[in-house]
Structure 1
């Protein structure tokens, strides 16, 4: 009778899966880095130059706010408008917008100040108040804490010339405002989130849309029920993409990668921010989230080695460690190799905490992660 060593088999399987994912992540990151070094492909000039309005909801004077918003004032685009929105006339962001209007007088900049509240999502409520100020039918939603290259607007709006396109979205890289915890937070984006999206995209998935950038036509927004359809949803960016996909419109992942600031200087603040992300991901894909642990390479490789420390176990551990280190260095620089074990351990702890709980903190508000299912019916092509 053959007796199976279940711990060793489990450890070997865990190491193999973790090492395989680390290798895929490293390959995806290397490909993205090489693609970024290539010349930008030429685009249809007419599609890239059609009028566009950028909607930027604001709340407070975030670090580097002026610098980030100024990158939108320097776009190489013949016809575009910037609409900034706040709820309170005393919001510190108002002074930043006024300064931009003074410094960039040729840029079409509008400021919407409206205290009316719509639903439970403050960002969406702001967007509802801002939309009447938009002059163009191509709309670009962009978070307040991102910086973009000069050709950003032309490139992200060009795919909207295809009537089958629903939304265009962008990946983003983290920019730590200081050493320490902000660096670890940036590594969350560059070293874990972005590779997972690239792997899913390479596998054919289009079930995403990111708040860093969502570009869409006004008719597509109206077809899904406007911003009002999102006013009670925490994951408003995801649902904007999902609702357009339910109309059989395509989601396009742009080759533009924007930059977002990582400002959390304490473990408490970083934990709160990343736990919100984790619980939001869980709310959108519970089954997939349950298996996310395989992406936390270092803890899984170590656990696999503990369960199976035979020569094969050591080989799998070594292969996974090399792939994970390559991934970290490529995504976030050589220093990220030393931070990777802590980064993965923190991810595992956040994942475990996110398996329970239904509330998150966002901009001084407590919100539920349970979005109601949209009532929009499916439509055949």
Structure 2
């Protein structure tokens, strides 16, 4: 969060104001914000603590005070779990100043996953969601905005009641954009991405999150939700295969296989174009992509059949008007007064007026509940929590066995296609890259020992390996005993050093933690994550490790 919030201070723009909104005084984000304010004294920044109840949406309750106290007319709402490049504000304001533009927004792009659930969320955001989001906004036929990072004018929003008027909705970001769109203003996008740090998320957290927003779209954008299965890989492929077979007698399975391959290549190209980096682990990417695509239709069916959503320790009932109503399971048939429910949060948000700043997004408390339906309705709602039920389902041994078996089959097929050598030629070992520890050993031994001559094998000729002996550390020598002794000593020292470092890093007491490139995560993960993660290889925690500095021409067009 520190780096996410710091990105708003680093904006290359001459004059702007930052307003950080925190709902609760005990939020640990307050210390982070104050530290950033002290480190960037030249930036006009301030902190607002406390929310105001204007509706059921806790994000609006957190932002409304900052919205009303902002100095400037252009407001940039940016969630606390995203960061942007330093030039994002300038490019966004340039777009905003064009004639007829009322809102500027940025494509959410998932980075830094650390668990299987986060990897699935990354697959959704960076492939299927990115395609549909860019296509709809390119055509300009309708409003399609995710409120992770967007700019609009306060004077325009005040014409429809201001920010407080959207406090009764849960999907306030798209409804605000729709209201501005209906005024006759256009929506524009820059080439910037809103990098969303995904962190640790279990598979059940991913499924519940996707189900929640599908159910909300069912009442807010019904037409788009109805056709949603046909824009997924499986649904679209089945319909297209049947059509080609009916009209041109193309074999059903042949066309379906062609469709799947092309769909995957498009998603892979989309991810590489947006991330600006080459895919370093194709197998892991393919595994996570397959699981997300196979789970898309069952997840859609589960979502559309329900009308309740769980959000921050509370259950809400969705209404056809697009609003929500809190569902208090503790209400009895008698007139028992509703108890006050609290929504806990450890993340802060910020909302910036003028053109930059992370916006408030993490609520703390909801208002007292008021019964709005008959006691008979409440007595019928006696089913267990949706979240607990889904977690129990995803941890069932049968589900874990099916998912892990599917991954094993895909892993086997991919291994044949990628790793095996053609024409029966065995794959010869390739010299690995020298690590920092090996380089240190080389420096130590260069004075007293004869260096080993290494040579990378020529994979195009089977004769290249003759006369050479392959040693455990991946080096090739001419077979002499002196050089072999040096190799073995070098390998033993490296292993001893690595074991000593590993042993010293373990804690004697407390929960065992695993170091990752972007922090720590517990090894006590969801059962489904444990079953599937071996097939993902080392792809976890490697997505989005570098920021996209430059874009190719095709990426800028997207």
Please classify the TM superposition score into its range, dividing by the shorter chain length. Answer: 0.7 to 0.9
1:215-254 alignment runs, 5 A limit: 215-254=151-190
| Higher share in helix | 1
The aligned counterpart of 2:468 is none
| Residues 1:342 and 2:291 are matched in the alignment | yes
What's the CA shift for 1:352? 0.8
Q: Where does 1:203-352 land on structure 2 (aligned, <5 Å)?
A: 203-298=139-234, 301=237, 311-332=250-271, 333=279, 334=282, 335-352=284-301
Please name the residue that 2:45 is paired with.
109
Higher mean C-alpha displacement, 173-182 vs 188-197: 173-182
TM-score by length of 2: 0.52
Which range moves more in the overlay, 230-239 or 202-211?
A: 202-211
Aligned equivalents of 2:62, 2:106: Cα separation in 1: 22
Q: Offset of 1:281 from its aligned partner? A: 2.3
Deviations 1:183-242 (A, max 9, x none): 111111011111011222343323112211120112112112100110101110011111
**Structure 1 residue corresponding to 2:19, chosen from 69, 83, 93:** 83
> Which deviates more, 326-335 or 66-75?
326-335
CA contact (8 A) 1:110 1:133 kept: no
Cα distance, 1:148 vs. partner?
Answer: 0.2
RMSD between aligned alpha carbons? 2.4
Q: Distance in 2 between matches of 1:329 and 1:75?
A: 31
Q: Distance in 2 between matches of 1:92 and 1:69?
A: 14
> Tell me, what secondary structure is at the counterpart of 1:252?
strand
Note if contact 2:51-2:63 (Cα within 8 Å) is conserved in structure 1: no
CA contact (8 A) 2:232 2:293 kept: yes
Per-residue deviation at 1:306?
9.6
- For 1:304-362, what per-residue CA distance to the aligned partner results, in whole angstroms no more than 9, with x for missing partners? 77997975213321321221120232234434223222111222122111212222223
TM-score by length of 1: 0.75
Greater RCO (Cα-Cα under 8 Å, separation 6 or more): 1
Q: Counterparts of 2:239 and 2:99 in 1: how far apart (Å)?
A: 49
Aligned residues: 310
Conserved 8 A contact 1:170-1:258: yes
Q: Which has the larger radius of gyration?
A: 2
Distance in 2 between the 1:176 and 1:306 partners? 39
1:258 shift after superposition: 1.6
CA 366–99 in structure 1, closer or farther in 2 if over 3 Å, else same: farther
Q: Is the 8 A contact 1:212 1:258 kept in 2?
A: yes
Runs of 4+ in 1 over 6 A off after TM superposition: 302-310
- Structure 1 position 116, deviation (Å): 2.5
1:83-162 matches, cutoff 5 A: 83-162=19-98
The answer on whether the counterparts of 1:234 and 1:368 sit within 8 Å (CA) in structure 2 is no
Residue 31 of structure 1 corresponds to which residue in structure 2? Answer: none
